[in-house]
Amino acid sequence: MRLGACTIIAPMSSQALLVPELPAPPSRGLGIYVHIPFCVRKCAYCDFNTYAGLEALHETYVAALCREITQAAPTHGHRKVDSVFIGGGTPTVLSGSQLARILGALRAGFSMVPDCELTVEANPGATDQSRFRELADLGVNRLSLGAQSFQEAELRFLGRIHGVAELGTAVDAARAAGLQRINLDLIFGLPGQERVAWHRSLDAALALAPEHLSLYSLIVEPETPLAAWVASGRVAAPDDDLAADLYEDARERMAAAGYLHYEIANWVRPPVAGEAVDAWTSPPGASRHNLRYWRNEDYLGFGPGAHSCLHQPAAEGAAHQARRWWNLKSVPEYIRRLGAGQEPEDQSERVVGALAMAESMMLGLRLVREGLSWAAFQRLHGVDARECYAPILAELSEWGMLESSSSALRLSAKGVPLGNQIFSRFLP
């Protein structure tokens, strides 16, 4: 599911070294990502670390994953965990008892707050009401469904295992099972996609009244079937101009439907129609887990290829530094290492100085309502972003790309479609 792109932040430095752990006080919260690297079938566009046909490894994988979680608990278990995101992959290919063991390991090793957001990704073609009921019984309180399109031809092109009918069925079944926070992922910018088809998909998604919608443009990732089709000329490369138009259409349609745009690719349905939400705040219903990434806060990732990042803020003494590390990607090797009592960490890096500050700027500016908090930046890096980036901020503001308040900086409505160009201005 596309949301995985948000759950694993790619390293931005080419310097990868093994660096030691940073101590962290319990007062700072923590998010946990758990990777399930299995799918029923690989979609044509997907380059996530996930595999079809590995059913024989499910049981040993769950044992290895629980071992990694348990091994991390003595070091990190004192932190208050306020979000858990079980993604992949398709977590629901695992049995209810396997998912229960994973959650049991998390609850045994970590201090999860009572209202911890607990999201599970699911594929509409690999779930039913009894499975959703199991998830609800396990304490899952947020479901992210990879819908991707409400057009049969587009779903076939993408290689999805479900048709349009299963999308509504899955949402109804999830609600009947008691899962009331539902996200739908949609993809736009398919080669040759007609605007009217995109409008129909958006309208069909909105008709299901999901609490949250994530809209992603199709990216041709290397070494995917889609990349081979484009290279051979079998399909046209996605058109950036078309994707930009479709994105604008989405912004308009979502606003007309009352959804609140809070991150470049994410919208929330207000919990109560007409309820006022501060214009400079991410609304209730925003993904707490993904907010953590965009606010450049701490997270741990478990499973093959999962990334982790822990900060030592400047406010806690020495200059800010972050330690980021990621696990090896091979599922069999991951299982072997954990079975041998070894760590699955592959590489790590220290992120400091101008690069660390640029990451905070680029991530924070993705939050199109709350923006980058001046105070949070100062706490983390020990310097004032307004001073560090004065010339860039002045120029971008003059062009009408940014707007600021006494507490935050964000993209203007004009700046949102140009986010990537704006973000790159902060890179050292």
* Contacts to ligand SF4 by CB under 6 A: 1, 39, 42-43, 46, 48, 50, 88-90, 123, 146
Nearest to ligand SF4 of 262, 326 (CB atom): 326
Reduced 3-state DSSP string for 56-69: HHHHHHHHHHHHHH
User: Shortest gap between Cβ of 2 and ligand SF4 (angstroms)?
Assistant: 6
Nearest to ligand SF4 of 39, 363 (CB atom): 39
User: Shortest gap between Cβ of 235 and ligand SF4 (angstroms)?
Assistant: 17
User: Shortest gap between Cβ of 281 and ligand SF4 (angstroms)?
Assistant: 31
Burial 318-337 (b: 16+ CB within 10 A, else e): eebbbbbbbbbbbbeebbeb
- How far, in Å, CA of 102 to CA of 27, rounded? 25
Tell me which residue of 131, 70, 48 sits closest to 97, measured CA to CA. Answer: 131
Nearest to ligand SF4 of 124, 210 (CB atom): 124
Nearest to ligand SF4 of 42, 199 (CB atom): 42
Phi, then psi, of 287 in degrees rounded to 5? -70, 110
Nearest to ligand SF4 of 50, 296 (CB atom): 50
User: Shortest gap between Cβ of 374 and ligand SF4 (angstroms)?
Assistant: 37
- How far, in Å, CA of 39 to CA of 59, rounded? 15
User: Shortest gap between Cβ of 42 and ligand SF4 (angstroms)?
Assistant: 5
Query: Which residues lie below 8 Å from residue 167, measured CB to CB, with a gap of 6+?
Result: 124, 145, 147, 150, 184, 204, 208
Nearest to ligand SF4 of 219, 355 (CB atom): 219
User: Shortest gap between Cβ of 86 and ligand SF4 (angstroms)?
Assistant: 13
Nearest to ligand SF4 of 3, 268 (CB atom): 3
Both tokens of residue 204?
Answer: 């069909």
- Could you please report the per-residue DSSP string of 82-148? EEEEEEES-GGGS-HHHHHHHHHHHHHHSEEEEEEEEEEEE-GGG--HHHHHHHHHTT--EEEEEEE
User: Shortest gap between Cβ of 186 and ligand SF4 (angstroms)?
Assistant: 12
- How far, in Å, CA of 281 to CA of 124, rounded? 32
